[in-house]
Structure 1
Amino acid sequence: MKNGWMNFFSGSVQVKVTGKGMERFLNECVRRKIDIWSVKRLGTESFSFFIHLKDIKLIRPIIRQSECKLSFMDRKGLPFLIRKSILNSGFVIGAVLFFIVIIILSNMVWGIEIKGAKPDTEYLVMKELEGMGIKKGKMQFTIMNVEDIQRSLTDNIDQITWVGVELRGTTYHFQVVEKNQPDPPEYFSPRNIVSRKKAVITEIFVEEGKPLVKMNDYVEKGELLVSGEIGEGGEKPRYVPARATIFGETWYKSTVEVELTTKFNVFTGNYKSKHYLQIGSLSIPIWGFGKHEFAEYREEEKDRNVRFLKWELPIGYKNVTIREEEERERVYTVDEAIEVGKKVGQNHLEDRLADDARVKSEKVLRQTTNNGKVKLEIYYNVIENIVTTIPLVQGD
């Protein structure tokens, strides 16, 4: 037979026929459309051939009507392999269970290593990991990805500046960089302190140097505030690195636009989850069949590959979460838009200012409404540190 694969799946049997009238037997098989192949003569009164497993019941009546005897020599094909597997089911089940156990153990967390952290910081990291569900014996599929773990630890633990997270095999490795202690005082060469912008002095504290301004003085940008040259009268001048904290009232102007009507998308809370078995680039759905009915939606994908011992297999699990969105419309009155504009303007200003600066007051200079937008020009009074330094050249 040419189609060997079909013979394998359906099963075939090699039989031996002995006796007189073998030719008549073969002709009767052909007449009854019984497939016979690989016919071999074994002697003067015997030969062998292959037939389909399903044709055995058709050949028995022919044997009874002839003077021949039939015996089975060999069996081939999937049905016999299945039967043999059933007879040896203990071994097969054991092998399958062993493979499943190895897969499960390869995808569990068996170790957590933390380097670069002091004992108290390491304790805080371990407590935070337990809160996130990361501990020994936990399946890796149920744990957030490495980037989310890193971001959560950095945000929630004040004692660390950065943490590196890496999953190698069944162990999570954490490299912690703790916040440094305050640096020792720096030593500077002689210098002057000048104003870095126009301001009215509101607070002055000089640690070292000769102050040249006082409270409520108006200063220009670049004006000398504290001199690093000390000495009066006929004394020989002494040059020091001027140190001072000087706050002044400065002024800023900001332009803000607020739309009276804004459209944006929000999640409704409805979602549909789909689960897939990932084999290479092929995704086979295993749960969450059917189409969703969301008109507007956003998809989130999470992929995890299966590990076998230290190797990563091209088999994985993919979870797709489809979240429903809907469009909302937000409408402000003019007064509400003005209040929002003030907050937006102040937030933008605070992003530009140092941490020790504060907004003293604000005033809307101009307000216009055009094309569905409110445009504000806002004037701010700010109290901030105005000092900057320049080198002092001796003899100036």
Structure 2
Amino acid sequence: MKNQWIEFILGYVTVKVSGKGLERFLNVLTRNGLYIWNVKRHGTETITFKMRLKDAKNIRLFARNSECKISFLRRSGSPFLVKRLLKNSGFLAGAGIFLFIILFLSNMIWGIDIKGAKPATEYKIRKELDKMGVKIGKLQFLTENVDGIQKRLTDSISDLTWVGVELKGTTFHLQVVEKNEPKKPETYSPQNLIAKKKAIIVKYYIEEGQKVFTDHEYVEKGQLLVSGNIGQEEGTPKLVAARGKIFGETWYKSHVELPLKTNFRVYNGNEKRKYNINIWGLDIPVWGFGKPKFKEYETEVITHKIHFLKWELPISFETKTLREREELTRTYTNQEAEGIALDMARKEIKTHLDEDSTIIDEKILHKALQNGKVILDIHFRIIENIAIGQPISKETNE
């Protein structure tokens, strides 16, 4: 047979023929267009073969004029399989409903476990999870994925430094790290305070140690500012951890280039959603057919794995969001570009400074317009803490 699948779909029967003139009978069948295969001889007067279901209805017409006796041994193919399934439809429906219920319950949220959070913070987390639809009894693939839940919790709850979200079976496990945890008391070893860069001292606050600089003194990098050796000239010196803040005026230079014309892409709010079921890497569309009307777009895919009890199936439910984007051109005047470039320089400088540092003056040293860009060289005067610790060893003291 060239294609047994076609015969299986249409249905076929196994026929037993007994009597005399078997070969002649087979020739009559084939001459009249009846297709037979798998012909087998069983003794001298018996053969079996397979034939199509539609032809089996006509075989008895040809047997009447022969000396052969016909009987049907077996019926095969999809028509008979469907009959058997319909006969046992109650059992199959019950089994299908049972499996569907198990699959349905295996993909619901039955627990939310939060560790590492104080009661007040845990209450905020659960309230935010409710807003997102992450609650007991909700289907997992109707909620955001783990990464989305983690990002929204971190963005919306200021008390969190970090939150880890993991889905195990039907339970979400959240590991929380809160902000403003009690700091361990710092222990200090004997040390001096030295200048971490050259500066002019403006103000200071010394908690412990011996000051060795004068007011408004210009100091070099590495110069001793506060000594941890507070012993008397006569007697045994005492080593302490010099502590305090020495604020000095420091100087920075910044180089900034800003194009007057910039092309960038933005989302305009138009989007199209598609829902697929992925089985072994094959996408089967469920909703949202066809291509979007917009040409330029980006695709975000959220995948929800399907579980059966504790096992993860090779099936997933995917939500694809296609967001339209547009290319815009932003143009600055020379004056606008200069102001924005100056603001960029301030922000860049502040990334290198402590929180208690202050910009007291800024001056543009050089300004140019080249190749469609505004180019600025800026000089900043900063007030910042220039003191850093330098350990004192016994050998150094001796």
Quote the Cα distance in structure 2 between the aligned partners of 1:22 and 1:387.
112
Q: Deviations over 1:66-125 (max 9, x none)?
A: 898866553222101101212222112222222222222222211222233333333333
Name structure 1 gaps, 5 residues minimum. Answer: none
Alignment of 1:157-172 (within 5 A): 157-172=157-172
Quote the Cα distance in structure 2 between the aligned partners of 1:314 and 1:198.
64
Q: Is contact 2:196–2:221 with CA below 8 Å preserved after alignment?
A: yes
| C-alpha displacement of 1:17 | 7.2
Paired residue secondary structure (1:380): strand
Q: Is contact 1:263–1:329 with CA below 8 Å preserved after alignment?
A: yes
Paired residue secondary structure (1:318): strand
Q: Is contact 1:258–1:373 with CA below 8 Å preserved after alignment?
A: yes
Query: 1:231–1:7: structure 2 CA closer, same or farther, 3 Å change rule?
Result: closer
Quote the Cα distance in structure 1 between the aligned partners of 2:152 and 2:4.
59
Bigger mean CA offset, 237-246 vs 57-66: 57-66
The residue that corresponds to 1:58 in the other structure is 58
Quote the Cα distance in structure 1 between the aligned partners of 2:210 and 2:186.
21
Quote the Cα distance in structure 2 between the aligned partners of 1:395 and 1:22.
120
Alignment of 1:118-267 (within 5 A): 118-179=118-179, 180-189=181-190, 191-230=191-230, 237-267=237-267
Query: 1:293–1:157: structure 2 CA closer, same or farther, 3 Å change rule?
Result: closer
Paired AA for residue 297 in structure 1: Y
The residue that corresponds to 2:306 in the other structure is 306
Query: What TM-score does the superposition give when structure 1 sets the normalisation length?
Result: 0.86
The residue that corresponds to 2:370 in the other structure is 370
The residue that corresponds to 2:384 in the other structure is 384
The residue that corresponds to 2:357 in the other structure is 357
Paired residue secondary structure (1:379): strand
Paired residue secondary structure (1:369): strand
Q: Is contact 2:189–2:391 with CA below 8 Å preserved after alignment?
A: no
Q: Deviations over 1:163-196 (max 9, x none)?
A: 332211111122233443112131322x222222
Bigger mean CA offset, 267-276 vs 79-88: 267-276
The residue that corresponds to 1:95 in the other structure is 95
Quote the Cα distance in structure 1 between the aligned partners of 2:17 and 2:178.
87
Quote the Cα distance in structure 1 between the aligned partners of 2:254 and 2:173.
48
Query: 1:22–1:213: structure 2 CA closer, same or farther, 3 Å change rule?
Result: closer
Paired residue secondary structure (1:230): coil
Q: Deviations over 1:258-284 (max 9, x none)?
A: 111111111222233333332223223
The residue that corresponds to 2:13 in the other structure is 13
| C-alpha displacement of 1:349 | 0.5
Q: Is contact 2:254–2:378 with CA below 8 Å preserved after alignment?
A: yes
Quote the Cα distance in structure 1 between the aligned partners of 2:47 and 2:232.
132
Q: Is contact 1:210–1:228 with CA below 8 Å preserved after alignment?
A: yes
Q: Is contact 1:204–1:214 with CA below 8 Å preserved after alignment?
A: no
The residue that corresponds to 2:342 in the other structure is 342
Q: Is contact 2:267–2:323 with CA below 8 Å preserved after alignment?
A: yes
Q: Deviations over 1:269-303 (max 9, x none)?
A: 22333333322232233333333344332222233
Q: Is contact 1:16–1:70 with CA below 8 Å preserved after alignment?
A: yes
Query: What TM-score does the superposition give when structure 2 sets the normalisation length?
Result: 0.85
